[in-house]
Amino acid sequence: MLIGSSLIDYVIGSMIGRTEDKKKRKALLLVSLISNLGTLFFFKYFNFFIDSFSSLITALGFIPHLTTLNIILPVGISFYTFQTLSYTIDIYKGKIQPSNDVVAFFTFVTFFPQLVAGPIERASHLLPQFYKKREFDYEFASSGSKMILLGFFKKMVIADKVAVLVNAVYNNPSDYVGAPMVMATVMFAFQIYCDFSGYSDIAIGTGRILGFDLMTNFKRPYYSKSISEFWTRWHISLSTWFKDYIYIPLGGNRVNQKRWAFNIFITFLISGLWHGANWTFIVWGAYHGVLLVFERYTKSVSDGWLNLLIPKFLVKLVPALVTFSLVCVGWIFFRANSIQDATFVLTHMFSDVGDYLDPVKMAVKFRGMGWTPTDLIKVFIFILMLEIIQWIDRKRFWGDSIRKLPRYLQWFFYVLLLTIIIFFGIENSVENFIYFQF
């Protein structure tokens, strides 16, 4: 798969670069689009569309005789397909020149730190780095090592621990109502963030040790004060990909309001479908598209009310809490195994509100989900540690800030973080990175 995808785009890119004929260039680009998207459709979406069509035909009273295929989804196909596709599109648009070094190009596509779950790199940023002579940079490698350390902390200590509670509730939603659903939903927000941003930290850090600069994929997304800001901070490599290759070609914001709303909605609908062949992901994408359209039309009014009704010291906090809450509602569809499960969670998560204030009942409920009160305390302490690091990181890389401390305090912090990873990380069952499935 990797060899075929890479070879097709390398050859097509070279052919586009050698011709000025607009029709030939468009035809070659079309070949690249069909080969990449056709491969992605076959492996990832063929069975989904067959099943959906069969369900529709059955609902209309017919008996379909359609069969699905036993297809294994190639690891990382959604990521490297988009990476190679952007290469040919950028050559077609004249943004970059085709590569003359087949080894460098293949290495760009298959660069192991970010191959299976991103960041989705652009040829204009990463490919030129393979042409340069590799020289070890201690400072660069040091910052990379710190990113890897934080990535393991996010993944092994927080995400894998939180997964126990989240899986218990979302795999059996009918067994839990009220507080457990609310807790599981909020915890999933931290699970998916720590899981995915943890992988990105490890990938970027590994790249830095090898002397490569990979693009930033997360910028403290839960600090966002609006949904639009959230999407400038979450999975940046994918959101900018959709912006550059779908949203802007559709017209972006250079059109009337109705067409803009259509553009943003379609972009996020496709984004949802990219994440998985399930209606839950499509609804999740559509949900964020609707939120962005609604936000655009109501922003001036909502900002005015905020300034009038909320004290100045809460003007930033309240929008951040509202944004986080809206994002959590979307995560319900992202995590649920089906639309029915997501609907059940939404309609039952605020049942038994009285139990929220009964510590005994709450302890019993959490114990039934695989957590003890001690586990709950540990998770909150670790999340607090992460938030402190991210608060330091908002102005400069947290590693640079720690370097200003006395050396013994620096090493105390690093050893403490490593000790936590070793002793608390092994308590948790090993969970695959969530984005490996995409």
Write out the DSSP string of 143-193: HHHHHHHHHHIIIIIIIHHHHHHHHHHHTSGGG--SHHHHHHHHHHHHHHH
Same-domain status, 161 and 77: no
In a domain, 257, yes or no: yes
Q: Mark whether 257 and 375 lie in a shared domain.
A: yes
Examine the domain organization and report whether 271 and 393 are in the same domain.
yes
Which domain, by its residues, includes 375?
139-433
pLDDT the model gives residue 365: 67
Structural domain contains residue 373: yes
Q: Alpha-carbon distance 162 to 145, whole Å?
A: 25
Please list the ranges in the chain whose pLDDT falls under 70.
65, 300-313, 315, 352-368
Whether residue 1 contacts residue 39, with contact meaning beta carbons closer than 8 Å, is answered with yes
> Quick one: 165 and 31 in the same domain?
no
Domain count across the chain = 2
Report how far residue 194's alpha carbon sits from residue 160's, in angstroms, rounded to the nearest whole number. Answer: 9
Decide if 160 contacts 430 (C-beta within 8 A): yes
DSSP conformational letter for 114: G
3-state secondary structure of 394: coil
Q: Give 383-394 pLDDT, tens digit per residue.
A: 999 999 988 888
Q: Which residue has the tokens 């090592």?
A: 145
280 and 359 housed in the same domain: yes
Domain finish residue from 69, 103, 130: 130
CA angle 12-18-20, nearest 5°?
110
Could you give the residue numbers annotated as active site? Answer: 275
For residues 147 and 200, state if they share a domain: yes
Residue type, 265: F
What is the reported pLDDT for 27?
94
278 and 225 within one domain: yes
pTM of the model: 0.90
- Judge if 318 and 271 occupy the same domain: yes
Whether 438 is covered by a domain: the verdict is no
Residues with Cβ within 8 Å of 108's Cβ and at least 6 positions away in sequence, in order, are: 83, 99, 121, 123, 126, 127, 130
> Which of 68, 102, 130 is the last residue before a domain boundary?
130
**Which residues are CB-contacts of 264 (< 8 A; sequence separation ≥ 6)?**
247, 289, 292, 293, 296
Q: What is the pLDDT of residue 112?
A: 93
Residues 229 and 271 in one domain: yes
The predicted-structure confidence for 52-111, as pLDDT tens digits, reads as follows 777 777 777 777 767 777 888 888 888 999 999 999 999 999 999 999 999 999 999 999
Question: Is residue 177 assigned to a domain?
Answer: yes
Same domain flag for 179 and 58: no
> What amino acid is encoded at 140 in this protein?
F
Report H helices in 41-119: 46-59, 77-92, 102-110
Q: Are residues 149 and 113 in the same domain?
A: no
